[in-house]
Amino acid sequence: MAPSMHSRKLEEEIQALRERLATHEAMHATKDLVRARCFLGRCSFLAWDFMALVGSMRERFTRTRLPWVPVGIPELRRLVHQVSIVEESDLALGEGASSHFETFLKIAKELDSDTDLLEEVIRRIRLGEPYPHFLTNLDCPSYIHRFLESTWHLVTRGSHEEVLGVFTFSREHVIGDFWSKGMEDLSWAGEAGERLRAYGERHIELSMNDHEPFARDALERLCGEDSGRWARVSDAVHQALRVRLNFFDGLAEELAVLDELQESA
């Protein structure tokens, strides 16, 4: 399905935000070990948070309870299952069947990134503690807290078109920028760096060739020419991109503190 006027207009509107993300100063953090450890540890939250959107789409657009009956738009069901299978059990990264999040976390830990906070969040969820309320009891940077709460609000209270729109335009649409700009120089990281580069290339491949075009098509089918739905998509996408930009602003501040500590050591 060809992009509609609504889709093209939205892409034009968010171009400035996308460029700010692609050229953000935090994207240069992987050029040395100390800054890269911080960068990867914090960005592991992005890899984990992405699955909240995937899970929400699975619940919204496919049948997840018995007895099974066909629901919704077939192309949208196909998108959700295609995304789910590679995100939760990809075979293309040389790790056997593994979720992208688990692969990213493993590489980050091999490079001695601090993933303790995220692992504590996951531990508490497994214990049944109410998420995201318990984040206030953790030493969680405000920019991470805001990012996670924003996604949670979207997946629990947002409309179908808002969730799919954010997945399409504030996640898949910017993945290529993140991996091409944020992982330019990994020569210092050895074998783990090569696996991280392969991980990024896999994401770019999936986003450009499969996920983003299929998600755009599904969004077109879902919204049609309903200007009200497209307006809600636009608002949600702009909000998600601003929160993502705030995430990298906060990360840049952390990296600046690390630089000061290194200079004074």
With contact defined as beta carbons under 8 Å apart, do 35 and 88 qualify? no
For residue 98, give the 3-state DSSP assignment.
Answer: strand
On the question of a cis peptide bond just before residue 130, with omega within 30 degrees of 0, the verdict is: no
The band of 30, judged by pLDDT with boundaries at 50, 70 and 90, is confident
Residue 198 pLDDT > 90: no
At 259 the pLDDT is 80
Residue 101 pLDDT > 80: yes
Distance CA 33, CA 164 (A): 36
With contact defined as beta carbons under 8 Å apart, do 185 and 31 qualify? yes
Q: Dump the DSSP string for 183-238.
A: TS--GGGHHHHHHHHHHHHHHHHHIIIIIHHHHHHHHHHHHTT-HHHHHHHHHHHH
Q: Could you give the percent of the chain with pLDDT greater than 70?
A: 92
Query: In Å, what is the CA distance from 45 to each residue of 95, 156, 264?
Result: 21, 18, 29
At 116 the pLDDT is 96
Distance CA 68, CA 112 (A): 45
Query: In Å, what is the CA distance from 98 to each residue of 34, 79, 185, 243?
Result: 27, 19, 25, 28
Q: What's the average model confidence in pLDDT over 96-100?
A: 91
DSSP state of 129: P
Which residue from 84, 80, 75, 231 is spatially nearest to 159, judged by alpha carbons? Answer: 231
The band of 46, judged by pLDDT with boundaries at 50, 70 and 90, is very high
Residue 54 pLDDT > 90: yes
| pLDDT tens-digit readout, 214-239 | 999 999 999 999 999 999 999 999 99
Q: How high does pLDDT run on average in the chain? A: 90
The band of 162, judged by pLDDT with boundaries at 50, 70 and 90, is very high
Tokens matching residue 171: 């996640």
The band of 144, judged by pLDDT with boundaries at 50, 70 and 90, is very high
Cα-based angle 234, 240, 242 (whole degrees, multiple of 5): 100
* pTM score: 0.92
DSSP state of 167: I
Tokens matching residue 248: 């990298």
With contact defined as beta carbons under 8 Å apart, do 173 and 180 qualify? no
Residue type, 189: A
Query: In Å, what is the CA distance from 40 to each residue of 18, 49, 123, 211?
Result: 21, 14, 20, 23
- Please give the tally of structural domains in the chain: 1
How many other C-beta atoms lie within 10 A of the C-beta of residue 122?
15
Distance CA 64, CA 52 (A): 16
Looking up residue 150, the CATH number of its domain turns out to be: 1.20.910.10
Distance CA 196, CA 29 (A): 14
User: Rounded to the nearest 5°, which phi and psi values hold at 90?
Assistant: -70, 145
Among 76-85, 91-100, 148-157, the range scoring the smallest mean pLDDT is 91-100
Task: Give the CA radius of gyration of the chain.
Answer: 19
The band of 181, judged by pLDDT with boundaries at 50, 70 and 90, is low
Residue 120 pLDDT > 90: yes
The band of 48, judged by pLDDT with boundaries at 50, 70 and 90, is very high
Distance CA 100, CA 93 (A): 9
Domain, as residue range, for 29: 5-264
